[in-house]
Structures are given as C-alpha cells and as structure tokens.
Structure 1
Amino acid sequence: MTMMLRGILASVFVVLIHLPVCKAQPATAGFLRNGVTAHRGNSGEFVENTLSAFQSGIDLGADWVELDILRTKDGKLVVLHDRTTERVGDKNLDVAESTYEELRTVDIATDFRRRTGKTREECPPQTIPLLDDALGLIMKQNQTRVSIQPKMDVVAEAVALVRKLGAERWVGFNDGSLPYMTEVKRLAPEIPVFWDRGANTDIDDDLRIAKQRGFESLVLHSSGVTSEKVRKIKAAGIEAGAWTVNDQATMEALLDLGIDRIYTDHPRRLLAIHAGRSFRAVSCEGAYPRHLQGIATNDRDAIYWCFTDVLLRTDINGKVVAKVPVANHHGDLCFQDGKLYVAVNLGAFNKAAGQADSWVYVYDAETLKELARHKTPEAVHGAGGIAFHDGKFFVVGGLPEGIKENYVFEYDPSFTFRKRHVLDSGYTLMGIQTATFAEGHWWFGCYGKPQVLLKADPSFKVIGKWAFDASLGIAGLPDGRFLVAQGPSQKGVGSMGRVVPAVPDANQGLRIIEVVSPKLK
C-alpha cells in the first residue's frame, strides 16, 4: 500500500468515526397511541368489518381498528365475524363451505339497514372483503394499525399473507385462544398480541402466561375489570385493555380505573372522551414578535398555533415540538387529514379590491413542512381565516370600513372556487378573523371594541351575535367544547398565546369554563 493511499484511508477513517451515530427508529414510529380500538372498524356508524368501517376508524383517529377473519372453501381469507352470513346478510351461507364468489353475492349491509332504519340509498349493499383488501387499505397510511382476530385456525395463513405484503408494522393479532396467540408469536415474534380474557379468569395465571409468551396486552371483558387487576397488569409492564364498551359512563369508569385501551363500536364517542380529558386551559411555550392569529387541533394530541410570522405545533400541555418561520401575514388555520391549511395575505388588508394578495398555504401537520400554495383571489380584501366542513374549505378575511356584511368564500379540495356566501352580520371591524364549524353551526371571531362573535346556521344565516372575543382563534372539540385563543403581550418580551375551554351559552355565545393557571402563564 502506498503512503498516499494510507493517508487517504486514514483521513476517511477519522471522518467516519466523527460522524454522528443515527439511532434506528422503531418500526412503529409515527403511529397513533391513544388506546382506541375501533371494533370491527367504526361499526357503530358503518357496516361492521367493511372497508368503509375501517376507513372511518382511520379518519376518526383510532390508533387501531380490529377485524375478524375466516377461511372460505376455496382457501381465501375473508373479513367476517360469524361462521355464517345469517346475522348480517340477506342469505345464510356457511363461510367454510362456500367459495368467495358465492359469498360475494351476500349483502352484508342487510342487518345494519334493518337496525338503523337506513335506506338502500343511504346504505348501499356491501360485500365481504378479503383480508388482502383490508391490509391494502391500512397500508396506505401511517397513523392507524389493524388487529386481526382469527375466528378459526388460520393464523399461519394470515401471518404468511402479512409477510407477503410486507405489512408487519401495520399489524397485530387479538383473540382469547392461547394456541392461536402463541402461534402468532412463534411465527412473527415482532407482531403485537392482544390476548383477550374473560371477566373471571385468574389474573395472576393470565399474567404469568402473557409474560412467558411475550404478549404485549391483556384485554379483559369490561365487566371483570377492577383497580387491582389493572394495577397488576401495569406492574407487569403489560398494556391493560377492556372489551367491548359502547356506553359513555362505562368508558369513563374504565379510564378512571387506569385502563389503557378500550375496544368499542363507537370510536368517535371514546375519542371525544379522550379529547375532553386532554384539552385544557394551557399557554403556548415561548414569546413571539407578532401576535397570535389562529389555533387548531388534531382532536388528539396536538395544538397548532399560528402567529403572524411563526407556525408552531405543541403538545396538549403547550410544549413546542415543531416551529417554523413563515411569511408575514399568516392568519387563522385549520387541520384536515394530516395537513394544516393557513389563510395567508401577502398584500394589504381591509383595502379596496386589488390590493390584497390572498393565498392558502398547506403544511404537513407533523413536521410543519410546507407542501403547497393555493391562490384565493376571491378574498379581495385579504384572506385571514379558514375552516373545513362537509368536504369543502371556507375562507374568510378582511373588510373595508363601512361594509355592513361579511363574506365567506367556498372552495373544493383542490381550491377551485365554488361560491361566495354572504353573512348579514352588520359591520365588524376588519371583517372576520377566525372561523370554525362545530356543533352544527358556524362560529366566526371578529375584531372590534368590543370584539364580536358571530354564530350562523349551515346556510350562513346569522342566528347570534355577541360581545365575546374569539378573534385570535377558535376550534371545536369532539366532546362539544371549544378552545378559544387569547394573546397576551408583554413589553420587552413579546406576544404569547394561550387557549381556554368554553361551552356554548345562549346568553353570551360561548362561556369560558377554565382559565390558565397562574403558574402556566
């Protein structure tokens, strides 16, 4: 080896040993962790064990959806709970004795329509999906995973399919069968197992077996949950779950006992309870050069704060986890499908048409990376606020002095302009600053002395107007409460942000029910 080559290699070695070591991220990084398992999908609102029920569970933000599988006569793995189609369908076929093509002739929405009173137009016929199809749906996103419950001895086939599709990181298994769950761990030790237990099993035996087999969770029948059992499960380093719970009072009681996970046909209901327990009065960490313009949440674990030239994501306690500088003037914002949509005006506000430069900027809600920009020239006095409802975006904004009405601009998801709605609101200073659709109504925050809160029905007919300040941000929560933003400032320090929960009130529009603790200010 020449001296020159030795020198080059030595230099390379020195560089390499000084490079930072990148720790491998866990395979499940990025998935939600909220303890909400949508039992057979969102089966309270959609036909159980269908792709629409699973998609709804994903859209709502459940961290797991659960499904059941059986094997057909021709060896297909299908998603169905019962061994026959009698309970859910319009004909009675035995799954194990029928081909998949025969099973596809069954309308499994029949019982759902009968129980809910829905028409065929409201709930069209549905067919039994294949496990392949369900896994394909789940693998299109990275927030929700699927727990597979084998209703017959098909564990090996299911694991083989998971391996074939490369779906391991999206998948878990659950059942009360010890042989089935043991087989999962033998074939795929990295896949989580939720071992279902009855109300009266011996918790000490259950824990001993779970630890021996490497099971991650014990899911108890809800009627058998006690504080002592929960304490023992958690002390063993295992997740404590309960199945299957649909009424709010029992959900609340189980959470009070310390249960980590609840299986439910009504994930929306459980998520609302979590939101009610999570979102409280809190201050945003830090101070900023310009004032707060709007807030949003993802209904789960994040609050988004938009100051005039800074965009932040915090946890529910107000601790900053992501922050980016943005163009002046960023305004109000909304969260939709993992993205943030912010009303932006790069021109003049509240002036005659032609002086504004209105946009909607789109950001990744996790990283705050900018994804897109959409021009919204219809907001001729400056885009200041935005909300999402019924598959469409609605932009509000500035207003010159003397105009006695406000305007709401409707856009489709690609931001093609659809319609201008007129609010018979009377004059509000600088138009509308913030907007949200919640509890079946529109809510708009406006500047002024005093500030004004407007309430309108879905057709934009104004039905309430109060002296209440929601001009710095307003967001509806799943449990029927609101978060209202406040923006104190301190000379020499800067502008700050905080949110306080409020509830609808006939006399004052919204009523604040909790203030920020002095130690959090």
Structure 2
Amino acid sequence: MTQIFAHRGYSASYAENTMGAFVEAHKAGADGIELDVQLTKDGEIVVIHDEKVDRTTSGNGFVKDFLYKEIRKLNANKKGIKKEPIPSLIEVLEWMKTNKLLCNIELKNGLIPYEGMEDKVIELVRKYNLMDRIILSSFNHYSIVYSYRMAPEIETAPLFIEGIYMPWIYSQSIRAKGIHPKHSAMSDNIIINTMENGIAVRPYTVNKDADMNRLFNINCTAIITDDPVKALRIRKPYEKRP
C-alpha cells in the first residue's frame, strides 16, 4: 500500500515545518512526515525550508546568519493565532520517539554548502536510534553519497526535478535505496520499472486528486503531499486490493 508522507507536516492547513504541522499530520494518520534542515550560525540544526526566514516567519535574513537563540524567537506561524518557533531537529526526533512515524529529512545544502551538516544529522539520528525510520534526501547528490558513506544503515534518496534515464541504475550506482522525483517527471512505466528493480519511489508534491489516484493505482511506494487528510481519503478504496 502506498505510504503517505506529509510535506513539511500537514502544511495544507498548518504552518509548514512546525511541530504543530507534524503533530497534526500524525493525528490525521499519515505514515510519515517530510521536513527540511539547515544550520544556524552557531551550528544548530533547525527545521526550515527556505534559505531565508522571510517567507515563513516574522523575521528576515538568512538562516545561516542567525544564532540558534535568535532564530528561536521568531514566529514560524505567521497566519495562526498561536506562536510557533522554528523547531530544532532534536525536538522533532525526541517527539518521534513517542510515535512510529517515518521521517524524510531533506538536507537543504544545494545553494548554501552547510559544512558538516550531514555528520550532525547522522549523529542525531544515531543518538535517537531512528536509523530505520529516517530517509535522507537532497537535490545535492554529492551530499547523498557522502551520507551513505558515513551511515550506510540510513536510507538515502536523491531528489529530482527532471526525468532521469533508467533511474534505478543511477540509484544503485550511488547506493540509494529510493528516489524522490517531481511527480510530473516520471511516467507510470518508469515508476513501475524502478520499483521492480528494488528502488522505492516517493514523488513530491502530490496535491491533486488525479495525481494521487494515478500513483495509488500503480501502488507507488509513497507520495509526499501537503494534504495527508485528502490523500488518506483518496487512498481508502485502494486499501482493499490484494
């Protein structure tokens, strides 16, 4: 059965990449969550998508220019009533010890090469003994290879925007057990072939009914969606299949 990962948490209805969005995704019944990590000026791992804090918080400037104690003062819930800080990865992993969710950690090091970020993330995943529930993904495939070499026990999955020829061959060559393509960049045939070659396929960001139906119909490994509630509803009829 296709798993449902909540993209930046239940971000269709709650502030993205906040503990509130993660908790609500879990309550809704998602199989996993997806989140993004970056480093503060003093080397703390924080959960935020953009390189700048402007769009999602009350502040402005680059994540890398804030000290951890400064970034924690910002409100990451601009639209809501309740103030929410930018979570630390530690906070999320501690919470994960209370549930059975899977978690896709996207390393946001495509534009800013955060020195040592992979090592810090891996160290925490091992500390909380969550190796079998974490998938590390990135558009920076050098980072994916490095992560695999540092921690072969943690699944890695490169992210793609464009289609790639025989993605299972590429994945095997970099020892990745999964791929996270843009949903429109892969045909049913390529997805099925990839899965048949032992590589998990988790397309992003799948929000339209038709796209969800297409992927549930071919029993894709997982989808990454902003709206886990809608995805769970659409998945229901497919759950009865043998």
TM over 0.5: yes
Counterpart of 2:69?
101
Q: 1:145 aligns with which of 102, 121, 125?
A: 102
Letter aligned with residue 217 of structure 2: D
Kindly indicate whether residue 187 of structure 2 is the aligned counterpart of residue 226 of structure 1: yes
Note if contact 2:12-2:227 (Cα within 8 Å) is conserved in structure 1: yes
Letter aligned with residue 168 of structure 2: L
Distance 1:129 1:63, change over 3 A: same
Counterpart of 2:129?
166
Distance 1:262 1:85, change over 3 A: same
Deviations 1:356-375 (A, max 9, x none): xxxxxxxxxxxxxxxxxxxx
Distance 2:229 2:137 in 1: 22
Distance 1:230 1:258 in 2: 10
Counterpart of 2:156?
193
Counterpart of 2:173?
212
Q: CA deviation at 1:257?
A: 4.3
Counterpart of 1:128?
86
Deviations 1:313-332 (A, max 9, x none): xxx87xxxxxxxxxxxxxxx
Note if contact 2:2-2:219 (Cα within 8 Å) is conserved in structure 1: no
Distance 1:233 1:68 in 2: 25
Note if contact 1:93-1:103 (Cα within 8 Å) is conserved in structure 2: no
Q: CA deviation at 1:240?
A: 2.2
Task: Give matches, 1:181-330, under 5 Å.
Answer: 181-200=144-163, 202-204=164-166, 206-279=167-240
Note if contact 2:139-2:159 (Cα within 8 Å) is conserved in structure 1: yes
Note if contact 1:246-1:266 (Cα within 8 Å) is conserved in structure 2: yes
Distance 2:66 2:137 in 1: 25
Counterpart of 1:62?
30
Note if contact 1:156-1:183 (Cα within 8 Å) is conserved in structure 2: no
Instruction: Flag as ranges the 4+ runs of structure 1 deviating above 4 A.
Output: none
Note if contact 2:17-2:35 (Cα within 8 Å) is conserved in structure 1: yes
Counterpart of 1:29?
none
Q: Which protein has the bigger helix share?
A: 2
* TM-score, normalised relative to structure 1: 0.43
Note if contact 2:38-2:63 (Cα within 8 Å) is conserved in structure 1: yes
Distance 1:167 1:255, change over 3 A: closer
Note if contact 1:34-1:62 (Cα within 8 Å) is conserved in structure 2: no
Q: CA deviation at 1:34?
A: 4.1
Distance 2:22 2:49 in 1: 14
Distance 2:2 2:211 in 1: 17
Note if contact 1:230-1:258 (Cα within 8 Å) is conserved in structure 2: no
Deviations 1:130-169 (A, max 9, x none): 1000000111122x11111111241111101222232323
Distance 1:277 1:254 in 2: 11
Counterpart of 1:180?
143
Q: Which protein has the bigger strand share?
A: 1
Distance 1:141 1:255 in 2: 25
Kindly indicate whether residue 119 of structure 2 is the aligned counterpart of residue 156 of structure 1: yes
Report the 3-state secondary structure (helix = DSSP H, G, I; strand = E; otherwise coil) of the residue aligned with 2:137: strand
Note if contact 2:32-2:104 (Cα within 8 Å) is conserved in structure 1: yes
Note if contact 2:34-2:103 (Cα within 8 Å) is conserved in structure 1: yes
Structure 2: segments with no counterpart, 5+ residues: none
Note if contact 1:71-1:78 (Cα within 8 Å) is conserved in structure 2: yes
* TM-score, normalised relative to structure 2: 0.90
Q: CA deviation at 1:213?
A: 2.4
Report the 3-state secondary structure (helix = DSSP H, G, I; strand = E; otherwise coil) of the residue aligned with 1:203: coil
Report the 3-state secondary structure (helix = DSSP H, G, I; strand = E; otherwise coil) of the residue aligned with 2:230: helix
Distance 1:254 1:170 in 2: 22
Counterpart of 2:56?
88
Distance 1:199 1:90 in 2: 33
Distance 1:185 1:53 in 2: 29
Distance 2:126 2:194 in 1: 30
Tell which has more relative contact order, 1 or 2 (C-alpha 8 A, sep 6+).
2
Counterpart of 2:14?
46
Report the 3-state secondary structure (helix = DSSP H, G, I; strand = E; otherwise coil) of the residue aligned with 1:242: coil
For these two proteins, the number of residue pairs brought into alignment is 236
Greater Rg by CA: 1
